[in-house]
Amino acid sequence: MSPNSASIGILGATGYTGVELLRLLADHPSARVRTLTSERHAGQPIAAVFPHLQGRELPALSKVGDDDLGALDVLFGCLPHGTTQEVIRELPRGPKVIDLSADFRLSDPAAYESTYGQPHRAIERQRDAVYGLTELSRAAIRSTDLVANPGCYPTSAQLPLSPLLEARLIAPDPIVIDAKSGVTGAGRAAKETSLHAEVSEGLHAYGVSSHRHTPEIEQGLSEAAGRPVAVTFTPHLVPMNRGILSTIYVHLASGVAAEDLQTALEGRYTGEPFVQVLPFRSLPATRHVRGTNLCLIAVHPGRLPGRAILICVIDNLVKGASGQALQNMNLMLGMPETAGLGQAALFP
Amino acid sequence: MSPNSASIGILGATGYTGVELLRLLADHPSARVRTLTSERHAGQPIAAVFPHLQGRELPALSKVGDDDLGALDVLFGCLPHGTTQEVIRELPRGPKVIDLSADFRLSDPAAYESTYGQPHRAIERQRDAVYGLTELSRAAIRSTDLVANPGCYPTSAQLPLSPLLEARLIAPDPIVIDAKSGVTGAGRAAKETSLHAEVSEGLHAYGVSSHRHTPEIEQGLSEAAGRPVAVTFTPHLVPMNRGILSTIYVHLASGVAAEDLQTALEGRYTGEPFVQVLPFRSLPATRHVRGTNLCLIAVHPGRLPGRAILICVIDNLVKGASGQALQNMNLMLGMPETAGLGQAALFP
Amino acid sequence: MSPNSASIGILGATGYTGVELLRLLADHPSARVRTLTSERHAGQPIAAVFPHLQGRELPALSKVGDDDLGALDVLFGCLPHGTTQEVIRELPRGPKVIDLSADFRLSDPAAYESTYGQPHRAIERQRDAVYGLTELSRAAIRSTDLVANPGCYPTSAQLPLSPLLEARLIAPDPIVIDAKSGVTGAGRAAKETSLHAEVSEGLHAYGVSSHRHTPEIEQGLSEAAGRPVAVTFTPHLVPMNRGILSTIYVHLASGVAAEDLQTALEGRYTGEPFVQVLPFRSLPATRHVRGTNLCLIAVHPGRLPGRAILICVIDNLVKGASGQALQNMNLMLGMPETAGLGQAALFP
Amino acid sequence: MSPNSASIGILGATGYTGVELLRLLADHPSARVRTLTSERHAGQPIAAVFPHLQGRELPALSKVGDDDLGALDVLFGCLPHGTTQEVIRELPRGPKVIDLSADFRLSDPAAYESTYGQPHRAIERQRDAVYGLTELSRAAIRSTDLVANPGCYPTSAQLPLSPLLEARLIAPDPIVIDAKSGVTGAGRAAKETSLHAEVSEGLHAYGVSSHRHTPEIEQGLSEAAGRPVAVTFTPHLVPMNRGILSTIYVHLASGVAAEDLQTALEGRYTGEPFVQVLPFRSLPATRHVRGTNLCLIAVHPGRLPGRAILICVIDNLVKGASGQALQNMNLMLGMPETAGLGQAALFP
């Protein structure tokens, strides 16, 4: 641990994104976890909730308000949607805040209200928030103290699509995003629909035409395209713990070939440590990124002329949540962007 | 067992479609299994290969040619693609043949050759073959002695799409079929890519823009539409044993609403014992049909005007293979179409 | 459905044992489900809770007390442990009651109190209750109107052990029962420990030296042995939905060989439709019994002289719960014992 | 990478233990992989076999004999049992060899022959081989150039049992080891019995009273006890990729309590970085060690006096194979024993 280690707090440390941050931070050379909050388990050691953290030097769980959060360098918000904004509104300025909930992702308060069914209660902070899709917004992330960490589905959709819309290589309509996610995307809440016996050995779609990540995806794509983009987005629940695979169906702009998409994406992501554009017509699997911050993108020609298919895989808990949050922290603190994110995929 | 029981032979009984036929036939009131062939295991009792069949009265495994197949009433072909046609070509006429391989599904020999990479070797029998998507071809199935049993993916695509194309309620292009299948679809061959450690806890697409089921899907849809239909079809491998879920993205014909698709499908499938059109905006899961011959269809409005999303689930080994084969047998023999197919779903 | 169909009620129909009863009863020729209770979902159709039951003719969910339960022929109790006794105490006499909870399994009220931490509240009915391990207690089951349906683990332990203890072929000590269960054994309650992400891809023991099924196992074995028998019993949670495999380590009585256990068990279970003693040294798998009422038993010689190993597999939801309950119902009503229980295993 | 990096070769790099070594070595500060052999895939980049290794600086696959293996510092043998000894016999002296196969584990050539069914073909090297259960044999490992890396099951059995037998706290008989393993223990060979559809959603025992790891376990325990020890060992295949849980049933020596086992094990493993003795009566899960080199041990009192139960969990691919191999390499080269082995568990 460096003497200049950043002091870290995690609000809501006992969910899956919280514990994943702890896994990644264990490999970080210049970060020290000082505060872990859990309203439900305050007073207990974290190993009482996650026995595999036994033996790690970590603070006991506390309640928000027990510790002086203003003295920390970085705060990760891993609280449920809707409650985060109230906590963040009350925080002292000082710490860099990276919020993994959806609360600050939609820049338009009206869009927030119509999507989440309640008015935003920290609008003054919403104004400063930067949407933290790292590869697409580095400059803004470096200079803010509040990052809205992107959703897992939106990350898997925007990384392949945004550069193509920006370069006008694909039509803004139709865009079909058929996404498949592992079950940790539903969080650690004890719900009947997340039970092993309900989830394993089967598959279903949910939130068809109505999932809350749609406006978030469209906000990013519209910005990239420079005009309103609306998409068809269908998420599915797959019986695995980690991973998102998005299969994206696009129509090519006039005169454009699928190979041009390949070239454009390769050019856009050259030198990126975490975004890999695979050789044309590759078949990425979520297994290839399990436990890593990688995003793999493949381009396929359509069977019909003028069409292409993009495939994007990430680990929903890493590049789709805690890994990207840590990447953003590194950027905000001027540390090497890959610090704590060098894990090789766990396969099998 | 009725005195008028049909005598049944299964060619290639030790794969997953063969053993699934045995499971279903155990509940059939008027069928008796007389011959089970397996080139690899000939001479052994079937329970040596499938211990769970211990105690069932079944013939020992034999080689094709050992028994007089011509004396049987029905022959199910569960052999690998490509070899089936050679066996069927040599069969004596007499038994009704239901072939579960791809060999007789494409009526155009040129399409067969370009899809499967070799000329068809039983073209004279191809001419008589009826494509056995039961609900769409009852009359022809009743009067043939060779049924080409549909592929699992094509079943899940055509049942929702064919009536809509026939009624011109949807545009013939674009049609995107994003399909997800359990691993039994890959058969029982010992392949590295089908190992538990390679398949579980992950997801990937395969055969993008090139899967052999595409021409089969397009043949059926074109016939329904009365003009050539080309589709975008992407299969994915999901870590579960059984089940296919196809998410289908369509554009509505001018003046048509998603509710009209609902009405049309309900009308088309009223009274069908195995095809259920669920209430508008339902979310069918493959778990709901596990072990059954059911096909569940749901219609969703698109988020964008003029679009709709269809979801179709089947058990790939039942309605997608052996169940539909048995349904076809019942039809060909004039038995109740549901005989042997009354199983309730195994959930969980 | 026969005109003499039994009218059936299921108390607590929305848990896994309740829905499994509905699956099995769908195949029963002489049973008609008249009442389904669920305190939480009363007023809804059962298909609102279990969409795969759509289209089945079943009554809507009601509360206990809404219907005249006394008019039914049979009541299955699928309520949680502890609450069942209060409901059953208040029931009118008349219906045959088969209780799947633990409430009436221990004949000694003191043992009940020390195991379950509260005094028994229906002691007067406890006196009449017959422990319903069908193959071991047919006469008593036939003549009672209250069956305490055995626990899943105890079923898998007693079927192989009881005949051997009764015949004094094995020592009453040490007996080690190392049992492994699928997750439906934990029921459908929404608990963090039953979530897919907590259960899949891993394994653990629980209730070591303290599981509540131990006294139930010992009660049965002691009765068989004619003297007190105490066992070492360790349950484990395996990432699968259904199935129990118990590996049982015994010491042979003096002069007895492992082959003698084989002979004794074969003799004891000859002609039994649901208990199969496999050939010596067989390796039964839970897959062989998935969805069936079968119990498979294998005998292995120990590597050390004077020892033997017994392996027993059942489907915890069928022979370990709802299947055995239905078997008991058939016996109590004088119907064929196998009615509704003829399903072949679902493999794969 | 340090300038004093050790140069590493892996023989048989395309199996699961080979690829796991590559995962771990990616985190090692002073090791550089120079040679990767694969008879089947020679000439290809490793990423052609394992796409998730794309972008890592690794040599292409070669055949044994292509490279000068004698110039390497360390050779890991990840070849199949039986063929390893022939390769190792021909190797030039010089490199430290760590063999992950069973070939050099049994010090008695007669025991090898009777267990593996063929005479040993490198007896002269067998004499120098040190059995590499790191925590139990550090001095010998440091001074040898051939380590026989222990089997996964034997590691999980000996770490808890050896210190107790050495201290005469438990009886040498009976000892029952009921072990449960994930499917990667069966390797990457394309076998029907390892297919997803054959393994998932079920459980079975195998090798009852005859598994080849039994003599290996007994060799270690006998040495610890100072007299012959014979055990009952039953392995089971569990539908998960990684992990072994061994439940071990022992009888206490006269006057010894289960708490004494706890004290003895805590004392024996104090300060060990990878062996953790959990608080008395803990319930370790394989999830707690997934992807790590940890071994967790728990002690439980028996329900019967004079008995105890030990539970031991490891990741079969790490502490049960490649992790322990790397730990041994570190020891042989005088590097910090934990180098490359600091990964936190991947949960969920």
pLDDT at position C307 is 98
Q: Which residues of A touch C190 (CB under 8 A)?
A: 190-192, 194-195
Put simply, the answer to whether D290 touches A346 (Cβ < 8 Å) is: yes
Q: Does C348 touch chain B (CB under 8 A)?
A: yes
Nearest CA in chain C to B318: C346
Render pLDDT for C100-152 as a digit per residue (tens, 0 to 9).
Answer: 999 999 999 999 999 999 999 999 899 889 999 999 999 999 999 999 999 99
Residue B2 above 80 pLDDT? no
* B176-190, B254-268, D112-126, range with the lowest pLDDT: D112-126
3-state secondary structure at position B74? strand
- At B258, which amino acid appears? A
Handedness of CA B122, B123, B125, B131 (dihedral sign): positive
Q: Does D345 touch chain A (CB under 8 A)?
A: yes
- How far is Cα A152 from Cα A244, in angstroms, rounded to an integer? 8
User: The pTM is what?
Assistant: 0.97
Q: Which residues of D touch A346 (CB under 8 A)?
A: 23, 290-291, 346
pLDDT at position B3 is 63
Q: Does A190 touch chain C (CB under 8 A)?
A: yes
Please give, rounded to a whole number of angstroms, the shortest distance from the CA of C304 to a CA of chain A.
37
- Give the strands of the sheet with A96-99, arranged side by side: A61-62, A31-37, A6-11, A74-77, A96-99, A146-148, A130-131
Nearest CA in chain A to D196: A201
- How far is Cα D27 from Cα D318, in angstroms, rounded to an integer? 14
Render pLDDT for D10-53 as a digit per residue (tens, 0 to 9).
Answer: 999 999 999 999 999 999 999 999 999 999 999 999 999 999 99
Please give, rounded to a whole number of angstroms, the shortest distance from the CA of C182 to a CA of chain A.
9
Please give, rounded to a whole number of angstroms, the shortest distance from the CA of A19 to a CA of chain D.
8
Residue D1 above 70 pLDDT? no
Q: Does B176 touch chain A (CB under 8 A)?
A: yes
Phi, psi of D162 (to 5 degrees): -60, -45
Put simply, the answer to whether A23 touches D345 (Cβ < 8 Å) is: yes
Residue D84 above 60 pLDDT? yes
Residue C55 above 90 pLDDT? no
Q: Does A206 touch chain D (CB under 8 A)?
A: no
pLDDT at position C82 is 87
Put simply, the answer to whether D201 touches B241 (Cβ < 8 Å) is: yes
Nearest CA in chain D to A187: D348
- Give the strands of the sheet with D130-131, arranged side by side: D61-62, D31-37, D6-11, D74-77, D96-99, D146-148, D130-131
Over residues B115-133, the mean pLDDT reads 93
Question: Which of D52, D287, D290, D293 has the highest number of chain A CBs within 10 A, making it the mutation to test binding with A?
Answer: D52
Average pLDDT of chain B is: 96
Q: Does A343 touch chain D (CB under 8 A)?
A: yes
Residue C178: its H or E element:
strand C170-181
Which of C16, C56, C284 minimises the CB distance to B348? C16
Put simply, the answer to whether A199 touches C194 (Cβ < 8 Å) is: no
- At D268, which amino acid appears? R
Q: Which band of pLDDT confidence, cut at 50, 70 and 90, is reported for residue B54? A: confident
Q: Could you tell me which residues come within 8 angstroms of residue D334 by beta carbon, excluding any fewer than 6 positions away?
A: D142
Subunits in contact with chain A (3 or more CB pairs closer than 8 Å)? B, C, D
Q: Could you tell me which residues come within 8 angstroms of residue D80 by beta carbon, excluding any fewer than 6 positions away?
A: D12, D101, D187
Which of D180, D205, D230 minimises the CB distance to C304? D230
Preceding peptide of C348 cis, ω within 30°? yes
CA B297 to chain centre: 16
Q: Does C329 touch chain D (CB under 8 A)?
A: no
The DSSP annotation for D206-257 comes to -STTT-THHHHHHHHHHHHHTS----EEEEEE-SSSS-EEEEEEEEEPTT--
Catalytic residue annotation of D: 152
Q: Does C180 touch chain B (CB under 8 A)?
A: no
- At A49, which amino acid appears? V
Render pLDDT for D116-137 as a digit per residue (tens, 0 to 9).
Answer: 999 999 998 998 899 999 999 9
Render pLDDT for B182-221 as a digit per residue (tens, 0 to 9).
Answer: 999 999 999 999 999 999 999 999 999 999 999 999 999 9
Chain D 10-49, residues with CB within 8 Å of chain B CB atoms: 16
Q: Which band of pLDDT confidence, cut at 50, 70 and 90, is reported for residue B173? A: very high
Which of C22, C54, C201 minimises the CB distance to B276? C54
Average pLDDT of chain D is: 96
Q: Does B187 touch chain D (CB under 8 A)?
A: no
Which of A205, A230, A283 minimises the CB distance to B206? A283
Q: Could you tell me which residues come within 8 angstroms of residue B68 by beta carbon, excluding any fewer than 6 positions away?
A: none
Q: Which band of pLDDT confidence, cut at 50, 70 and 90, is reported for residue C3? A: low
